[in-house]
């Protein structure tokens, strides 16, 4: 089926991008491969009928947050010699995989024991802007306001931390 093919394609892109993020030495290469993961995840959201989340994933995550990270990486002008040496990187990676593999297997087993879910047809307005918006502004109003305060606090905090114009550093 077409949707299954798309699912496999997006999954392969997401996992390969994530593996690239973990394996690349230079953070710029890692950021580029992480963008691939984010775009593949947006495709997975689209396959799950989450239209609004699909758009926001592309605009906010792959657009705004990743361009902020890449901007900072370029701003610091990282050369090869600035990077941490990480001699035993692959040793640590193998160790990390050995530590995490049982957790992953346990989680996979738990996930696969969930009650059966055949491919149902989602309702007409499922995941659209209107439906999510109504939910957001009725049942989730208080968390929404708290998130707005959080964004304001992080804005002020980032300016205070990175600005530091008054002190003579």
Partner 1 sequence: MIQSYLTVSVILFCLGIVGVISRRNVFTVFMSIELMLNAANLSFVALARLHESMDGHVLALMVMAVAAAEAALALAVVILLHKHKGKLDTNVFSLLKG
Looking at residues 77 to 116 of the shown chain, list those that interact with partner 1 (rule: CB under 8 A): 78, 82-84, 86, 89, 92-93, 95-97, 99-101, 103-104, 107-108, 111-112, 114
In the complex, what is the shortest distance from the CB of residue 11 to partner 1, in angstroms, rounded to a whole number? 5
Distance CA 31, CA 120 (A): 36
In the complex, what is the shortest distance from the CB of residue 94 to partner 1, in angstroms, rounded to a whole number? 8
Binding of residue 49 to partner 1 (CB under 8 A): yes
In the complex, what is the shortest distance from the CB of residue 104 to partner 1, in angstroms, rounded to a whole number? 4
Binding residue for partner 1 (CB under 8 A) from 124, 142, 161, 168? 161
Distance CA 56, CA 68 (A): 16
Binding of residue 2 to partner 1 (CB under 8 A): no
Distance CA 15, CA 98 (A): 18
Binding residue for partner 1 (CB under 8 A) from 119, 124, 167, 168? 119
Binding residue for partner 1 (CB under 8 A) from 136, 142, 167, 168? 136
Binding of residue 36 to partner 1 (CB under 8 A): no
Binding of residue 57 to partner 1 (CB under 8 A): yes
Question: Residue 120 CB: number of other CB atoms within 10 A?
Answer: 6
Phi, psi (rounded to 5 degrees) for 165: -85, -35
Binding of residue 122 to partner 1 (CB under 8 A): yes
Specify the residue, 117 or 166, whose C-beta has the smaller distance to partner 1: 117
Longest dimension (CA), the chain: 64
- CA-only gyration radius of the chain, Å: 21
In the complex, what is the shortest distance from the CB of residue 2 to partner 1, in angstroms, rounded to a whole number? 14
b/e map 36-71, b = 16+ CB within 10 Å: bbbbbbbbbbbeeebbbbbebbbeebbeeebeebbe
């Amino acid at each position: 089926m077409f949707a299954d093919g798309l699912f496999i394609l997006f999954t392969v892109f997401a996992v390969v991008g994530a593996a690239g993020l973990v394996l690349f030495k230079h953070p710029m290469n890692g950021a580029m491969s992480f963008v691939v993961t984010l775009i593949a995840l947006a495709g997975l959201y689209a396959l799950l009928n989450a239209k609004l989340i699909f758009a926001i994933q592309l605009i906010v995550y792959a657009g705004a947050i990743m361009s902020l990270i890449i901007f900072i990486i370029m701003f610091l002008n990282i050369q090869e010699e600035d990077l941490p040496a990480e001699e035993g990187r692959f040793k640590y990676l193998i160790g990390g995989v050995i530590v995490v593999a049982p957790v992953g297997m346990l989680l996979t087993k738990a996930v696969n024991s969930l009650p059966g879910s055949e491919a149902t047809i989602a309702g007409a307005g499922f995941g659209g802007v209107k439906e999510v918006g109504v939910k957001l502004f009725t049942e989730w109003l208080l968390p929404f306001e708290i998130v707005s305060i959080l964004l304001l606090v992080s804005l002020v905090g980032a300016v205070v931390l990175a600005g530091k114009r008054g002190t003579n550093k």
